[in-house]
Amino acid sequence: MIETRELSKRYGQFTAVDAISFKVEPGQVLGFLGPNGAGKSTTMKMLAGFLAPSAGSATVAGFDVQAQPLLAKRALGYLPEGAPSYGEMTVREFLDFIASVRGLAGDAGERRIDEVIARLHLERVLEQPIDTLSKGFKRRVGLAGAILHDPKVLILDEPTDGLDPNQKQEVRSLINSMARDKTIIISTHLLEEVHAVCTRAIIIAGGRILADATPAELESRSRYHQAVSLTATNLQQAKDALAKVADIAALEVDPQDNRITAFPKPGRQIFVAVSDALKADQVVVRELALEGGRLDEVFRSITQGAAGAEVRT
Amino acid sequence: MSGTTTIFKRELRSYFATPVAYVFIVIFLLLSGAFTFYLGGFYERGQADLQPFFTFHPWLYLFLVPAVSMRLWAEERKSGTIELLLTLPVTMWQAVLGKFLAAWSFIALALALTFPIWLTVNYLGNPDNGVICASYLGSLLMAGAFLAIGSCLSAATRNQVVAFILTVVVCFLLLLAGYPIVLGAIGAIAPQGVVDAIAGLSFLAHFESIGKGVVDLRDLIYFVLMIVAWLYATAIVIDMKKAA
């Protein structure tokens, strides 16, 4: 479990994190979203016990990160931003080092190292100095170090940054497979990642929490939620047909591919009505889709709205 | 304690994973040999002792020890591994001490590899081996003090070159603290008490006093205190700087 109470970090006049409070339970995967400089990494650094908060407190697995730092650090697996590791060491030396600091000794320790190596597919590069590895491998070595002691709480700062799509997929399924009994926080810029791994998302900007909801709830705030998009061979004919649907609030046509998007009036569902109207007018439709909502649009409107509010005050 | 040992081992191994260790040891041995025989007149003096060998150690250390210490923390900060290290379940002290002891052991190894000169002098005559032992001890302690200073200044910057230059300057001032040039300049503006205090801080005075073969507890305490104080400062500087 992770809990923060009014957690703040100030650098002189600048407030990087402003009285953030939240609680993450075991089984939850919390996604930290926010523009660059929003305070995501600073919050994670305070949770990991690297930075001391200016005010407020945080507990990791029940241990206060300030008062009981060693106990908190033992319960925590932390991947810092950029996944730093000692470049001159080989992958095996590095993992042995982490295991030794974590007190994983003997056969059990060896078994666990082998398990993690297999899980992150590091067999091929075990005897290579980390400096000589590609970005994707470096990131996975960092991840291996973070999960080596099978921690109850995981904090991963941009775990899939620099990975190719296949590797991203693998890391996401790794996170999903660990999610059941762990408390996990990840930060990311990739909104599709929130969809893929997170059960809950917190959007922060300017050091403050602007939204705290499940990914589905966030999506439902999108203008595109329940909207219907289609492409038709005859644009004008399709528009005429759609004009007859009462629950449509607005129509938008993408000038590039002539894709029409129909937005429903608040609380209405228009998919059936739209498809019936098109059928009735015998419009030839190449594609017809119900939109779930666009996270990137919600993200933009939430974070830019906040920035605008700040300018005004 | 296990945290210190683990960090110590990792650090020491990292010296030998790069050419740093080999370059350092070879240069140290070559220079200490050259100084002893050419500048020190080892043979010409006709005395069976290692005074010409030890006399140059402070000046050798002045440039070689900062070359070892400059990477101690500056590199961790630059590569970001400091965040990894300090979020592992180790205390700040274990990290500072483990890294320092590794660097110190490394220099001790280089110093130990000068043993052929000790064999030579024993072959040529009958030196006072007690004095030689004491001098080795003094030399090692002085290297430790230089390292502790370097550790603190390395923590203060992420640039290794800056760390190197700052360490050389601070060590140079502490070396010369016992010399009339420094003492005369200070004596002109400060009372005698201050002059004595600064003279008491001199590396050279304490090193030479141990080198006479009289291991005075005060000289030992001086170097140990010097090391502890600078390591303490290292921990404080790291704490201050990591927030920035």
Instruction: Tell me, yes or no, if A143 comes closer than 8 A to chain B by beta carbon.
Output: no
Q: For domain A2-220, give the CATH number.
A: 3.40.50.300
Whether the pLDDT of residue A81 is over 80: the answer is: yes
B243 with A98: Cβ contact below 8 A: no
**Ordered alpha helix ranges (H), chain A:** 40-47, 69-75, 91-101, 106-119, 135-147, 165-178, 191-197, 215-220, 235-243, 271-280, 295-312
B242 with A86: Cβ contact below 8 A: no
At B154, is the secondary structure helix, strand, or coil? helix
Residue A59 backbone dihedrals phi, psi, to 5 degrees: -125, 145
Complex-level ipTM: 0.88
Residue A213 backbone dihedrals phi, psi, to 5 degrees: -160, 175
DSSP code for B35: I
What does the pLDDT average to over A216-245? 84
Q: What is the pLDDT of residues B179-196, one digit of tens each?
A: 777 777 777 887 888 877
pLDDT: which is higher, B149 or B130: B149
Task: For residue A306, name the pLDDT band (cuts at 50, 70, 90).
Answer: low
Considering chain A, what is the average pLDDT of its residues?
Answer: 88
pLDDT value of position A69: 92
Q: What is the pLDDT of residues B41-61, one digit of tens each?
A: 777 777 777 888 888 899 999
Considering chain B, what is the average pLDDT of its residues?
Answer: 88
pLDDT: which is higher, A46 or B241: A46
pLDDT value of position B195: 79
Instruction: Tell me, yes or no, if B80 comes closer than 8 A to chain A by beta carbon.
Output: yes
Task: For residue A310, name the pLDDT band (cuts at 50, 70, 90).
Answer: very low
pLDDT value of position A311: 39
What does the pLDDT average to over B114-131? 88
Question: What residue numbers bound the domain in which B212 lies?
Answer: 2-242
pLDDT value of position A309: 45
CA distance B62 to chain A (A): 27
Name which of A144, A149, A148 is nearest A159 in CA terms. A144
CATH architecture of A228-291: 2-Layer Sandwich (3.30)
Distance between CA atoms of residues B57 and A78, nearest Å: 44
Distances (CA, A) of A101 to A71, A94, A257, B84: 13, 11, 57, 12
Task: For residue A308, name the pLDDT band (cuts at 50, 70, 90).
Answer: very low
Instruction: Tell me, yes or no, if A109 comes closer than 8 A to chain B by beta carbon.
Output: no
Distances (CA, A) of A187 to A148, A153, A181, A191, A206: 20, 14, 19, 10, 15
Q: What is the pLDDT of residues A2-35, one digit of tens each?
A: 999 999 999 888 899 999 999 999 999 999 998 8
A50 with B87: Cβ contact below 8 A: yes
Least confident of A214-223, B66-75, B157-166: A214-223
B87 with A80: Cβ contact below 8 A: yes
Q: What is the pLDDT of residues A167-192, one digit of tens each?
A: 899 889 999 999 988 999 999 888 88
Upper half-sphere CA count for residue B169 (Cβ side, 13 Å): 7
For residue A251, give the H/E element and its range: strand A248-253
Residue A81 backbone dihedrals phi, psi, to 5 degrees: -55, 130
B contacts of A81 (beta carbons < 8 Å): 80, 83
Domain limits, chain A: 2-220, 228-291
Least confident of B21-25, B148-152, B194-198: B194-198
Distance between CA atoms of residues A165 and A172, nearest Å: 10
Instruction: Tell me, yes or no, if B7 comes closer than 8 A to chain A by beta carbon.
Output: yes
pLDDT value of position A92: 94
Name which of A50, A52, A74, A49 is nearest A61 in CA terms. A74
Distance between CA atoms of residues A218 and B163, nearest Å: 49
Q: What is the pLDDT of residues A187-214, one digit of tens each?
A: 988 888 888 899 999 999 889 999 898 8
Q: What is the pLDDT of residues A36-46, one digit of tens each?
A: 888 899 999 99
Whether the pLDDT of residue B108 is over 90: the answer is: yes
Nearest CA in chain A to B17: A88
Q: How open is the CA angle A176-A184-A48, to the nearest 5 degrees?
A: 145
* Displacement of CA B4 from its chain's centroid (Å): 20
pLDDT value of position A72: 95
Instruction: Tell me, yes or no, if A74 comes closer than 8 A to chain B by beta carbon.
Output: yes
Number of domains in chain B: 1
Nearest CA in chain B to A47: B87
Q: What is the pLDDT of residues B204-232, one digit of tens each?
A: 888 888 888 778 888 889 999 999 999 99
Task: For residue A312, name the pLDDT band (cuts at 50, 70, 90).
Answer: very low
pLDDT value of position A112: 93
